[in-house]
Amino acid sequence: MSAARHEAAIPPRIRERIRRLREQINHHNYLYYVLDAPEIPDAEYDRLMRELQDLEQRYPGSITPDSPTQRVGAAPLEKFGEVRHEVPMLSLNNAFSETEVLDFDRRVRERLGVEEVEYHAEPKLDGLAVSLLYEQGILARGATRGDGWRGEDVTANVRTIKAIPLRLMGSGHPELLEVRGEVFITHEGFARLNENQEREGLKPFANPRNAAAGSLRQLDPSVTAQRPLTIFCYGIGLVRGGTLPSTHSGIMEQLRGWGLRISPLSRVVQGAAGCLEYYREMAGRRDRLEYEIDGVVYKVNDIAAQERLGELSRAPRWAVAHKFPAREEMTRLLDVEWQVGRTGALTPVARLEPVTVGGVVVSNATLHNQDEIGRKDIRIGDTVIVRRAGDVIPEVVSVVKSRRPADARRPRLPDRCPVCGSEVILPSGEKIARCSGGLYCPAQRREAIRHFASRRAMDIEGLGDKLVAQLDERGLIRDLSDLYALRLEDLEKLERMGRKSARNLLDALERSKQTTMARFLYALGIRHVGEATARALADHFGSLEEIMAAPVERLQEVPDIGAVVAESIYLFFREKHNRQVVERLLAAGIQWPSTPRKSGGELPLAGESFVLTGTLGSMTRDEAKGALQALGAKVTGSVSGRTSYLVAGANPGSKYDKARQLGIPILDETAFLKLIGGKQQAKR
């Protein structure tokens, strides 16, 4: 059948779909490769390309020389000199499932006529592919991959990357050696780069891949030199006047010997089973790596076998990229809702059309704050890109503005708290809006009680999240002080709360009344006041009444307390309802040993350093730590020459042995209790 008849046999609907797919793919190629400004995630691009490949396979008459399937990538920018790759820098076919990997291995084995194939496996980096040409062992040219046939001359920029040797080490280099690698930026380098961008008032980069591409393609090499670029080499291209090992792994080791950077995670594996085992290992390590990878690459290890297998128009038959599940996907933003946290902070949450990202169905994602919504120009009704990395909460990365509907509307910060109806305020100089309802706001109340009862605060055993929710729903607690008014008969009626559990909770509440001022201050949940700040306040003032009455200036006299923290403490105690809650808590019986202020002299154990080990019979480790800190002592986790005393309870560990070796005084429980008891009497 003639080509014309093939063409005529294509249904108009299919012909139009093919035309549209080519137009979309060319558009996204331009955005990704030329402008470094991708609009859609890789997973969406892969779907478009695979749909076009499938249609062209079903209708061969539709294939044209300018189809995206017949070339590797997009045209380079004109601002750099052009480089023609004598050996094309082909892209790789992708496998998205174990079945596709097994199919790849089967095809390789059938073509080679063998039962098992040895592969070289390595992580697939998410960076920018480059070609490094060495003449007589000296770096002569650096080029980008471009469209695979023509790239951009970035020699001056490549020479600034310290991981790329200007002269190869050792001997035996071919007269002409073209090395291929991936230029990338680590997570740490990316964070530093964006900090610098923001410090200089410049737009931060969206991701490490864009940062690497933008850095390597600077017209001014001095700018590139300031960017934290590095490289892993993964293969070779043109070779003249020399010989190389007969396996891909051997070539990689030879490159390593010549001073080129090779992935330390690459290895030789046997057959498809070895490939899949490697994939699962890398998937498990992905979130712990210091750089981005989006899959792994398998290459037939034997070079002669590679040559026998050959290549297709755009990809070799002897290699495949096994992609991880996409971390970015597209979906529609249905609405924006506002959640209220323990401190009253209002956080916008995106309600999404459910989409699978990284193997998990995502229907909600964080939008961080109102400023972030404005910066990304996010509107309800938009098509958005959602990213999920490891256990991190999914986030909306960007908007696909080309798909914005006419009725898309901007999310609006509410004037009133969506939970309690109190006024929403946006403190001067801050990005986060807050509910002014304080402990009256149900959302803040639950979070405040959870924090109040936590181990580092009042340590109320048995008061977990579900019980707090029940107490709130039944109206048994309106603020923190109501915890100490709970009755046995009320608790027994709660779900999964029998008489014994109810009695245990009441006992825990009673025990919690004996605390320290520092713990109590921390338990109140004052914004910016952590354990260390609470302890500093208690040590400095020695009296809760003085802290509550202190103006901002006096609060700033406390070491490490600046203007922001001081104002937060001052405003907390200026709120009438907060003072009322504190008074009711004290009236319920919460108390602590008195602590004199430092202005009257140093605390009894000031300057002393203690280490705790083993189990104490009379108190918990945290209680012992609190007692020491109340007396001015420093409590550390390890024994050293600077340790003043080791407190050893039952079954002490290796710290006991180390203290004996160093000659550190060791106190048993009786001596420890006598020490802190005597010091507490002395300070009174």
**Residues that are catalytic:** 124
> 73: how many CB neighbours lie within 10 A of its CB?
22
4: region left, alpha or beta (phi > 0 left; psi from -120 to 50 alpha): alpha
Which distant-in-sequence residues (6+ apart) come within 8 Å of 257 by Cβ? 169, 170
Record the tokens describing residue 540, joined without a space. Answer: 């400095």
DSSP string over 460-489: -TT--HHHHHHHHHTT--SSGGGGGG--HH
Question: Could you give the CA distance from residue 413 to residue 378 in angstroms, rounded to a whole number?
Answer: 13
The whole-angstrom distance between residue 1's C-alpha and the CA centroid of its chain comes to 57
Amino acid identity for residue 595 in this structure = T
Locus of tokens 């350093």 = 609
Question: Could you give the CA distance from residue 518 to residue 533 in angstroms, rounded to a whole number?
Answer: 8
CB 48 within 8 A of CB 18: no
Query: Among candidates 230, 209, 238, which has minimal Cα distance to 89?
Result: 238
DSSP string over 257-277: HTT--B-TT-EEEEHHHHHHH
CB 610 within 8 A of CB 635: yes
CB 537 within 8 A of CB 523: no
Tell me the residue ranges of DSSP E strands in 185-326: 230-240, 267-270, 293-300, 319-323
Record the tokens describing residue 231, joined without a space. Answer: 């490289």
CB 561 within 8 A of CB 536: yes
